[in-house]
Structure 1
């Protein structure tokens, strides 16, 4: 199925949206904007188009009574979204010419985007290819994974030894993540189960647990020459509540301890498991 995005957004319309975002979101203009601002402004336009296409495709899929595909993986090695999305949406020529008219090279803008730290190897690349291919073939697909803050690590040699450093990809990659706080879900860890009978009914309650909020973020994946758009829903662990009594007593470490533990769940892709805490975190 041919993509019709090139018929609905011209170079001039693209330029208009681009300049508006620079003005409204960054309080700047094309002459003064740096490469990072240009990258984020262009990315926001693409994200808006992908969201609109996904909504339309979802409505059409449901109206036609077609099935939907769901894929769960611990990692999705998505790479960089801007260049791929512009190509799949057949907007790469318009974007290149629009920026050229403003005296900006698109190749330098592409380099502003980090690789999404959501995968590490073959498993993640396979999962990413599934989402791309399913969209290209017109299937309604949704992937599920974790929104790793650091994900894959950077490697550095120090005195001949390999050193692992965190890969802080979110400052440049967060523009592709659409938060969906209304879909947040409480997840309970630890504690104990207690059983009792109530009017001949067997009841079970979960007590003394640690509560963590799983907050979803959506990343949209385009497919070439198709009206379909896949969605990757990524879950980020956040603190469910703030312990005000401990904070007011001056015990700040105690007040924030639950927050630290909850955030550790989605810090890195594969935490070291050569100790008990690491094994528990992986699980």
Structure 2
């Protein structure tokens, strides 16, 4: 279970976030300043340090945290592919802002100079576990020593490892992230309808390194984070291309990409045949089928 085809195809925002996290983490790790990262009551209310707030949004404080955090961010790129880079940017800003607000309130209530919160994009990662729990279907089940597992279990185990990596310092931002993801799912303030100006959303993709197979152009589905229904095969009445006789079988990467968005595998394959292997057109075909 890897969140769809490998690479950052149709996930430029995720690529930018991961690159930022890796660079900040390595830089402060090499400088031996990782332990100075994280937020405390003093950093926010007594001697505010803006640079520390910004850096602590991206940089992890240890190698295990960087490994598990980057892995989860990479997997959750499936949501950017599902809703598009623009709305995913809104999701990132919303989850980060709500998490930071909740963490600040908690530190203000504690008023304990020794209390601190670990560094890293915990808000985004754990907010993503909300749609992961509700919307990503289980495709494989198996048993190990009498215990039942699924392909989703590995993601939960990685999340648990990250949540407990710094004990209380990491549990607090993890819980705040889950709350932020839940608020986004309930569509508070109609947040799921919000969109950023296109030039702002595209700015993140320009800040990241180019990679083979990546594309900043994304499908424009009307689906939103928090809804990934099952799609049955239905005839579509829109004027999409008719499938060619003897057309080439759709590639597994294209089928996997649509499946990772929540579409049924057979419906995805049929839509790709009708769309002549154009993933964007196939996505629109499937979404049109949903609305009928």
Q: TM-score when scaled to structure 1?
A: 0.28
- Structure with more of its chain in strand, by fraction: 1
- Comparing both chains, which one has the higher relative contact order based on Cα–Cα distances under 8 Å and sequence gaps of 6 or more? 2
- Structure with more of its chain in helix, by fraction: 2
